[in-house]
Amino acid sequence: MKTSQGHLNKIYERILDEVDVGIHAVDETGKTIIYNKKMMQIESMDLKDVINKNLLDVFIFKDNQSSTLVQALQEGRETTNVKQTYFNNKGREITTINNTFPIFQDGKIQGAVEIAKDVTKLERLIHGNMNTKGSTRYTFDSIIGNSPAMRDVVEGAKRATRTSSYVLIVGETGTGKELFAQSIHNGSDRLSGPFISQNCAALPDNLIESLLFGTKRGAFTGAIDTPGLFEQANGGTLLLDEINSLSIGLQAKLLRVLQEKTIRRVGDTKDIPVDVRVLANMNEDPIDAIANNHMRKDLYYRLGVVTIFVPPLRERKEDIPLLVQNFIEKYNERFRMNVKGLSEEVRQSFMEYDWLGNVRELEHIIEAAMNIMMEDEEVIMYSHLPFQYRSKMQMKERMLPHSTVDTFMRENGDVTIPLKDQMEQFEKSYIEIVLKRNNSNISKTAQLLGLSRQSLQYRMKKLNIKID
């Protein structure tokens, strides 16, 4: 093998993209110079939004959470296994566990590197793999919801139990796609057959290929004769979770299997017939997924014979009271409590909230609230709700109403200014006002703005805000 620098760089790049941890490196000014594939997945970012940009321009660190990367840069501090929660530029919350260290050269800090594990994904991976062999728990009776939208979806799903057609289940995270998949299996005549679920996002390509289709002894070093999940699911149902994360190459192979109804183990030349009903879940709209190259059109046509769209909770808020009642009963039993319901304030706030985490988020909030209630308390009060919920709600309340922006624009509006400049101008004025009202106290101002001191100071420098 040649070992020129260019050649080595290629190898490094490939390694960076293949490892299963996120890697993010910045230079001494805080500008991103390395950002690997896994990190893009963890933080839901595109490379172009991050690379060569200052990290404090891209990510938002709230309150007392400061970026471990910036700490490494500014204080030379090394941190291990620190849990960090922050937000990407689309406002999406990210939780990771990091190891961060500064890079020294000639005694000076030249940059810093962060190695991150995605905790949310990790939890899901463990969960998903338990499901691989596990039995199914859910039936249509488990699906709570009385809204017309939900009733329609359940009706559609029930019709799908009569056949063995492939089904594509589309919906945001936490809307109950897994529930639907299991219910369809349990309501069909495949009920006594196996139900196997595999998350397509959790594993690298070659592994998932061997896992799905099996291997023949000698296909690669160490390969033994193993049946894949298709063979194991024979006579039953195979749920492919996050199908839009499957590589385009593997999607082509999958399509072939769906058409021919035979599989070929990796390294084998023999076709094995399989009788498997495939269900697939995805959290992206199929049209977008096709446009973004996350899904092959032909696979969509094959898989989406029956497509079930599970609506997000904010589009069926009528379901909230029933869901709340069910979750309260569930945790009353589990925690041996006697909670009766919500206070009026909580009820109203639930109806206004956006529920980006959908039913899963609602359940977590009820569970969290019931964890901190006193034994004899019977009503969930606003103060019982978890801090994250309350701060998101507060942010929403304090937002400028549309009419205010409208009036402002009518009076001062120059609509030829690009949005970015207009926003920057607003950001600058707003920070200046809050600073002034707090006698230029940085900590206080940062706290009110929901930023770390670091983030505030960075923004002041960038926007050229001076304090006198």
Ligand X SMILES: Nc1ncnc2c1ncn2[C@@H]1O[C@H](COP(=O)(O)OP(=O)(O)OP(=O)(O)O)[C@@H](O)[C@H]1O
Residues 277-316, mask of contacts with ligand X (x by CB under 6 A) = ----x-x---------------------------------
From Mg ion, ligand X, none, which one binds at residue 363 (CB under 5 to 8 Å depending on kind)? ligand X
Q: Confirm or reject binding of residue 60 to ligand X (CB under 6 A).
A: no
- Write out the two tokens for 188: 């069909």
- Find the binding residues for ligand X in span 311-330 (CB under 6 A): none
d(CA 304, CA 156): 13
- Find the binding residues for Mg ion in span 250-309 (CB under 5 A): none
From ligand X, Mg ion, none, which one binds at residue 171 (CB under 5 to 8 Å depending on kind)? ligand X
Q: Confirm or reject binding of residue 119 to ligand X (CB under 6 A).
A: no
Q: For residue 307, what is the enclosing H or E element? A: strand 306-309
Beta bridge partners of 93: 87
d(CA 447, CA 444): 5
Nearer to ligand X, 50 or 385 (CB): 385
Nearer to ligand X, 114 or 363 (CB): 363
State the Cα torsion 175-180-181-184 to the nearest 10°: -170
Tell me how crowded residue 305 is: count the other CB atoms within 10 A of its CB: 12
Size of the site for ligand X (CB under 6 A): 16
Residue 171 C-beta: closest distance to Mg ion, Å: 9
Residue 330 C-beta: closest distance to Mg ion, Å: 19
Residue 304 C-beta: closest distance to ligand X, Å: 17
The strands making up 32-35's β-sheet, listed across from edge to edge, are: 32-35, 22-27, 108-118, 93-105, 79-87
Length of the chain: 468
Q: Confirm or reject binding of residue 445 to ligand X (CB under 6 A).
A: no
From ligand X, Mg ion, none, which one binds at residue 452 (CB under 5 to 8 Å depending on kind)? none
Beta bridge partners of 278: 238
From Mg ion, ligand X, none, which one binds at residue 228 (CB under 5 to 8 Å depending on kind)? none
- Find the binding residues for Mg ion in span 173-212 (CB under 5 A): 178
Size of the site for Mg ion (CB under 5 A): 1
Nearer to Mg ion, 178 or 319 (CB): 178
Of 43, 114, 178, 209, the one binding ligand X (CB under 6 A) is 178
Nearer to ligand X, 146 or 407 (CB): 146
From ligand X, Mg ion, none, which one binds at residue 182 (CB under 5 to 8 Å depending on kind)? none
- Find the binding residues for Mg ion in span 161-180 (CB under 5 A): 178
b/e per residue, 334-368, with b = 16+ CB within 10 A?
Answer: eeebebeebeeebeebbeebebbbbbebbbbbbbb
**Displacement of CA 380 from its chain's centroid (Å):** 28
- Find the binding residues for ligand X in span 134-153 (CB under 6 A): 143-145
Q: Confirm or reject binding of residue 174 to ligand X (CB under 6 A).
A: yes
Q: How do beta strands 306-309 and 195-199 pair?
A: unpaired
d(CA 311, CA 63): 33
From ligand X, Mg ion, none, which one binds at residue 197 (CB under 5 to 8 Å depending on kind)? none
- Write out the two tokens for 84: 């960090």
Residue 360 C-beta: closest distance to ligand X, Å: 4
Q: Confirm or reject binding of residue 360 to ligand X (CB under 6 A).
A: yes
Q: For residue 332, what is the enclosing H or E element? A: helix 320-335
b/e per residue, 193-216, with b = 16+ CB within 10 A?
Answer: bbbbbbbbbbbeeeebbbbbbbbb
The answer to whether the beta carbons of residues 209 and 254 sit under 8 Å apart is no
Give the residues lining the site for ligand X (CB under 6 A). 143-145, 171, 173-179, 281, 283, 359-360, 363
Residues at the site binding Mg ion, with contacts judged by CB under 5 A:
178
